[in-house]
Chain A
Amino acid sequence: GENVEQHPSTLSVQEGDSAVIKCTYSDSASNYFPWYKQELGKGPQLIIDIRSNVGEKKDQRIAVTLNKTAKHFSLHITETQPEDSAVYFCAASKGTGGFKTIFGAGTRLFVKA
C-alpha cells in the first residue's frame, strides 16, 4: 500500500548548523509533497511544499528537493535556530484523483543553543 518513510527519527544539531531530513514514498502517482512542523500541543503547520513538476524549491532558510525517479524528497534547514526545534513531518498525496495524504512518522529536531 501507500507508504512514506522518513529518517532520521531524531536529529540534534548545534545552533547555526544545517539539518537535513529525508523521505521516500512508494506511490509513483504522488504529485504533491508538503512538509509540516508540529509543536507540542498544536496541529501541524505547513512550512513548505513542492509539486512533482519542480525539482527544488527554497524559502529563506528552508529548501526542499524532489527526485521523482528515485521517489525521494528532502528538507534542508540552514542556519538553524532554537525555535526550529519541533517535530517535522513529510507527506505525499496524489492531488487530483485522491485527496488522501500519507504522512511520514516524523523527525524530532533539537537545536542546541
Chain B
Amino acid sequence: GAGVSQSPRYKVAKRGQDVALRCDPISGHVSLFWYQQALGQGPEFLTYFQNEAQLDKSGLPSDRFFAERPEGSVSTLKIQRTQQEDSAVYLCASSVGPVGPAYEQYFGPGTRLTVT
C-alpha cells in the first residue's frame, strides 16, 4: 500500500499565523511520531502517539505546539502564533508498534514550513 503521506508539502506562513500540518500514516500502524528537522540537522523528536493516546510530548518546544490523533490514524500538528524559529521541515513517521522493541519507522516526505 501507500507509504506515509504528509500535506501540505510546503507552507508559507506570516509570523503570528496558525498552521496545521497533516500526516496520514501507513494503514494499521499503531505508532506515530512527529519530528522537526532544521536545515542541515538531524530530525528532533517532538511527540509520539500510540493509537489515539499521546504517550510522549516531551519534545514539543512550547505550548504553541499541539498534536492530536483523535481516531488513531490521521494526525495533525498545529502551531499557533508561528515564529520565525519555527521554520523547519516537519516529518511524520509511523511504525507497526505498539510496545516491545522499537520498530522500524517509516517516514513521510515532510512539510517544509517557512515563517516570514
Contacts and interface: CB of A to CB of B under 8 A. Distances in A.
B100 interface: yes
A59 B83 CA distance: 43
Contact of A46 (B56, B105, B109, B110): B105
- The size class of the interface chain A forms with chain B is 20 to 34
B41 A99 contact: no
Given A95-B102, A101-B43, A103-B42, 15 more contacts: A6-B42, A43-B110, A44-B91, A51-B101, A89-B42, A93-B102, A95-B101, A96-B100, A100-B45, A100-B56, A101-B33, A103-B44, A105-B42, A106-B40, A106-B42
22 contacts: A4-B42, A31-B101, A34-B102, A36-B107, A43-B93, A43-B107, A43-B108, A43-B109, A43-B110, A44-B107, A45-B107, A46-B106, A89-B43, A95-B101, A95-B102, A99-B33, A101-B43, A101-B105, A103-B42, A103-B43, A105-B40, A106-B42
Interface of B: 4, 31, 33, 35, 40-45, 48, 55-56, 58-59, 91, 93, 99-102, 104-110
Interface of A: 4, 6, 31-32, 34, 36, 41-46, 49, 51, 89, 91, 93-96, 98-106
